[in-house]
Structure 1
Amino acid sequence: MVSERGLAVLRAIVQDYVASREPVGSKAIVERHAFGVSAATIRNDMAILEEEELIAAPHTSSGRIPTDKGYRVFVDQLTELRPMSQAQRHAIETFLGEAGDLDELLSRTVRLIAQLTNQLAVVQVPSFHSARVRHVELVQLAPTRVLCILITDAGQVEQRIAELADDVDVDTLADLRLRLNRVAAGLTMSDAAAVLSGEIEGADPRHAAVLHTLALTLAEQARAQRGGDRLVVAGAANLVRIEQDFSGSILEVIEAIEEQVVLLRLFGEMAADPHGIAVRIGRENAPFGLPEASVVSTSFAVPGRDISRLGVVGPTRMDYSASMAAVRAVARYLSRTLGEH
């Protein structure tokens, strides 16, 4: 059974090892932390921590390093996250506030998180699965060319040009626009894609080919809007710089991350703590090909879309408190900003 002081010793070992990358000994703990007890007493506490498999000796050195289990206990014991500095909060608002659209905002988001945490940053592209079609607009550009515009209740606008086999006049286009809105408006993107890909009941047989082309174009737009199965990634160079923190090849980590479906599955299984943050450590990620990595993630919301996630991937020797605070702060900014727009 680990005592309160033993847990404090574990916290000291984690913090010192993360800061120095050097195994931590009892003497160093006494010198750096105000425990008010002797090095011998600290050694006894460390012996118990080792028996509980919370720390281990990497070499014959007297120093100890945290195990995956030790990091888990450390993270679970965090009652407060390190607050972001005023300068960091200002950097978040300034850098992300300059984004012109959602794609640029997500790109800036991962670059900023990678810089704040010195880890690899990932953000899930928000899905339009729950968004609904507000309006379909058709604009004639030429007798056989029509601009198809899909507008959702989240305010997203998607445009695509349909090349038609036959000419279409203004009156016919107006009738087709009315008919498409009747069948698609109010439907989710998934349902709209299914309906627009099929036969449109009551359509004039003379316009069947034109309507079919327009419907397929709009269906493709709806499917493209669904998203949710794509990640934006930045900061791979950070992993290369700390490659020594991985005992195996870093290529295995990078390959697992490139398999985006694997990371998306991992995101989906991560349960959030009271801070709204989810953390998976080392061997907990073995089923996903990341047995030596830790993942810190949280969610953010976009009106009209499903919940998406963002986070960082790095070695188990990670500054968990700082990483958790950074992803939470950025996610809150995203939710607030996207909610306002």
Structure 2
Amino acid sequence: MANSRRMLVLRAVVEDYIRSQEPVGSGALTKQHDLGVSSATVRNDMAALEEEGYLTQPHTSAGRVPTEKGYRYFVDRLSTVAMLSAAQRRGIASFLSGSVSLADTLQRAARLLAQITGQVAVVAAPSLARSTLRRVELVPVAAGMLLAVVITDTGRVAQHTLAVPAMPGDDALQSFVAAANDECAGQTLPRCAARVRALAVAPRFQAMAGLAQSLAAAMESMADSERAGELYMSGASSLAHQGGLADLAPLFDALEEQVVLMKLMSALSEEAPGPGGVGVAIGSETHTPGLLNAAVVTSGYGRTSAPADGAAHPQDGAEASGGTEKDGSGTSTPGDGSAPVAFVGSIGPTHMDYAATMAAVRAVARYLTALLSPGADGREGAA
């Protein structure tokens, strides 16, 4: 849009409509904003914006409302994502640092983001495929049966039973586990699987080749089994009470399709085209029928501490060109060249307050990144 005044008019319409959720007229616009032109000129600009597809007029005598194209133009020209206040940042740090486990942290993060935005908050557990191994344990649980317990750098714990035709002795088993940990610590699960298979051909573990192959297969299975049940969601009821339920009804149907949500928000957080590493998809951009009247704002959190496996993560390249960004707290964003391990996001109507939602999503994502960092206490962003 070459006309800079029209750009200002469009921005004013979007801001007023987000605030009032009522069609915006030229008279009200000139009263609320210092546009430096008459109401008639603003009316002509609004008519031109309607012809160009940025605004629409729901009724002949009514004012105009933004279209999906208008919202997209508005979001793309948010030059910066506003910082939350110092009190808000301290509140986030205090709330999240009081958690007792990773699951509790993620559930708290979802509740907190929903409270801040008044919208649906979705937080995914760290991806096993992107996490790195901290330790693996093999525990005998029955005759011919071992329980493989994998602990990752992000705090995720995954378990898998292994059928073992010939149970090794305690000393042999502990020796194998120690070797596996030496080989695999700090590696992604797909790489761990390859290294464990290499142990299977080592002379000293020849008798446990079957166990090594089973453990390697289990690690690959863990990396591939990202389930929708590992989404933490909050805020649906508060969004319902905001009104406009007829338009939001398809949204609530879409929230039930958690696999679809996980794929959408994961891809959006990896691409992170928005300012400050925040991705925004509006209406048809979500490619999800139930979200045609909704917008999704998301950001990745956490950072892989080992290079991602290209074969397992074909989208890793989307993050490879990102630059390091700071939020004033000294904490790097997931866009620092490494892929995020998971995402945090907010889903609401297309007339959501984009600036505020983007700020809240980014702040919560950065606190989760800080909390998952080795030795972090979650207070980096509170300064």
State the TM-score, normalizing by the size of structure 1.
0.81
- The CA RMSD measured in Å over matched residues stands at 3.6
Distance 1:254 1:38, change over 3 A: same
Q: Write the distance in 2 (CA, Å) between the matches of 1:158 and 1:63.
A: 55
Q: Write the distance in 2 (CA, Å) between the matches of 1:164 and 1:206.
A: 14
Equivalence for 2:332? none
Equivalence for 2:105? 105
More off after superposition, 261-270 vs 225-234: 225-234
Equivalence for 2:349? 315
Equivalence for 1:290? 291
Q: Write the distance in 2 (CA, Å) between the matches of 1:200 and 1:206.
A: 6
Distance 1:71 1:142, change over 3 A: closer
Instruction: Kindly state the Cα deviation for residue 116 of structure 1 after the two structures are TM-superposed.
Output: 0.9
Q: Aligned to 1:331, which of 339, 360, 365? A: 365
CA contact (8 A) 1:133 1:151 kept: yes
Equivalence for 1:67? 67
Equivalence for 1:31? 31
Equivalence for 2:41? 41
SS at match of 2:373: helix
Equivalence for 1:125? 125
Q: Which amino acid aligns with 2:282?
A: I
5+ residue gaps, structure 2: 307-338, 376-383
Instruction: Kindly state the Cα deviation for residue 120 of structure 1 after the two structures are TM-superposed.
Output: 0.8
Q: Which amino acid aligns with 1:263?
A: L
Q: Which amino acid aligns with 2:127?
A: S
More off after superposition, 138-147 vs 252-261: 138-147
Cα deviation per residue 1:193-243 (whole Å; 9 max; x = unaligned)?
5887999457999977xx867975785477446664532221111331235
Mapping 1:221-236, distance limit 5 Å? 223-224=221-222, 228-230=226-228, 231-236=231-236
Equivalence for 2:78? 78
5+ residue gaps, structure 1: none
State the TM-score, normalizing by the size of structure 2.
0.73
Distance 1:50 1:141, change over 3 A: closer
Distance 1:288 1:56, change over 3 A: closer
Structure 2 residue 265 is matched with structure 1 residue 263: no
Cα deviation per residue 1:41-66 (whole Å; 9 max; x = unaligned)?
21121111111121111123331111
Aligned residues: 337
Q: Write the distance in 1 (CA, Å) between the matches of 2:135 and 2:154.
A: 11
Instruction: Kindly state the Cα deviation for residue 28 of structure 1 after the two structures are TM-superposed.
Output: 0.9
Larger Rg: 1
Q: Write the distance in 2 (CA, Å) between the matches of 1:285 and 1:136.
A: 38
Q: Write the distance in 2 (CA, Å) between the matches of 1:313 and 1:173.
A: 48
Equivalence for 2:3? 3
Identical pairs, percent? 40
Distance 1:155 1:304, change over 3 A: farther
Q: Which amino acid aligns with 1:36?
A: G
More off after superposition, 216-225 vs 2-11: 216-225
Cα deviation per residue 1:3-53 (whole Å; 9 max; x = unaligned)?
222111111111111111111111111221122322112112111111112
SS at match of 1:9: helix
Mapping 1:85-164, distance limit 5 Å? 85-133=85-133, 135-138=135-138, 148-152=148-152
Distance 1:171 1:163, change over 3 A: same
Equivalence for 1:299? 300
